[in-house]
Structure 1
């Protein structure tokens, strides 16, 4: 157990279309909008910030180098209900809600850029 780390403060993802990612994370998953500046969007869930940035900021830096794999892990209240909502919105679900031996129920969906989003419901 780390005596230095107490939690996750920020998660940054680099996406092709920040507006589309915002719709997914804010509109479908319910993260709270914090700010937007120069197409960089900040959302929050609890004390953790999700930083969404475009793969390139301007035409001089039109590289796809920043576009890479990212995984988001979120604790949810009702994973079955959330997965049903995501399906209704056409979001691909790659793992149905599954009861894990360690007492959690997990599911996995894909965000608009194909990044896996892990959804975990703690045992009650």
Structure 2
């Protein structure tokens, strides 16, 4: 039986990314030795999306095969809390049909989406 999902983020600067997850996001962690931290990220859910689509007369596509996003209950409050801890956001929040999103910069790893879902997340049910 599958008991959890383990997610990997490949980083140019893993120490900076680990410090962000530990100090800014406050994820609990286990140190597996040599500074290799494994973080508890809470409940998770998995969606299987098409690599090309048509939605309301607009078509799109992606070459991505995997993606990761963080969910929150209140995006404005989350942004304020994380900004106070030094997080840097990319652009302004975007209102999507499924949630309100924004990118946050993970030092040494790039950008990850944070979103406030408009649906009842199965991860929290």
Q: Which residue of 2 aligns with 1:46?
A: 42
Q: Which residue of 1 aligns with 2:102?
A: 107
Give the number of the structure with larger relative contact order, counting CA–CA contacts within 8 Å between residues 6 or more apart.
2
Report if the CA contact (8 A) 1:25-1:31 is conserved.
Answer: yes
Within 5 Å, which residues of 2 pair with 1:1-124? 9-46=5-42, 72-102=68-98, 104-123=99-118
Q: How many residues align?
A: 97
Q: SS where residue 21 of structure 1 aligns? A: helix
* Change in CA separation of 1:11 and 1:29 when aligned onto 2, cut-off 3 Å: same
User: Counterparts of 1:119 and 1:84 in 2: how far apart (Å)?
Assistant: 13
- Greater fraction strand: 1
Which digits, 9 at most, give the CA deviation of each residue in 1:68-124, with x for residues without a partner?
Answer: xx953111122112222333344331132222123x111111101151111011227
Deviation at 1:21, TM superposition (A): 1.7
User: Counterparts of 2:3 and 2:76 in 1: how far apart (Å)?
Assistant: 26
User: Counterparts of 1:87 and 1:7 in 2: how far apart (Å)?
Assistant: 33
Unaligned runs of 5+ in 1: 1-5, 49-69
Give the structure-1-normalised TM-score.
0.61
Instruction: Give the 4+ runs in structure 1 shifted more than 4 A.
Output: none
